[in-house]
Amino acid sequence: MSAVYNLSTAPSQRERSGLTGFFTKTVFDLAGSGFASTVRLAKSSPEMWTPIFQQNKENVLETLNEYIANLNSFKNLIEYDDFQVVYREMQRTNHIKSFLNGID
């Protein structure tokens, strides 16, 4: 999977798939101020993104499968009260902060 795909297409794919049918006005009312920037790609043009998803179908499917597997793993940890592992996983993935320094 290409790095360009992961940086450009994958975020929109995740936002669109994660937002569909999930959010209500109440959720938006409770969301913090950073929420708008988190979902800005989900509000973008379907005319632009549909052909991109179509052209990158294999990468889209691979990324979705990985994302779903990660979400299911995290869900299982919470479901089975394994919060020590939740904590360790969050610590392990916190290194992303070093990549995001200076990005607003």
Across 10-14, 35-39, 67-71, the highest mean pLDDT is recorded for 67-71
CA 102 → CA 52, 74, 98, distances in Å? 29, 28, 9
Q: Which helix (H) or strand (E) holds 58?
A: helix 57-79
Instruction: Count CA atoms within 13 Å of residue 63 on its CB side.
Output: 22
Q: What percent of the chain has pLDDT over 90?
A: 38
In 1-104, the DSSP E strands lie at: none
Distances (CA, A) of 98 to 5, 11, 67, 95, 101: 21, 19, 22, 6, 6
Instruction: Give the Cα-Cα-Cα angle 23, 11, 80 (nearest 5 degrees).
Output: 60
Q: Which residue in 91, 66, 89 sits closest to 10, CA to CA?
A: 66
The count of other CB atoms within 10 Å of the CB of residue 37 is 9
The rounded mean pLDDT for the chain is 76
Give me the mean pLDDT over the 11-27 stretch: 53
Does residue 19 register a pLDDT over 60?
no
Using 50, 70 and 90 to split pLDDT, how confident is the model at 9?
Answer: low
What the chain holds in terms of domains, given with CATH numbers, is: 3-100 (1.10.3660.10)
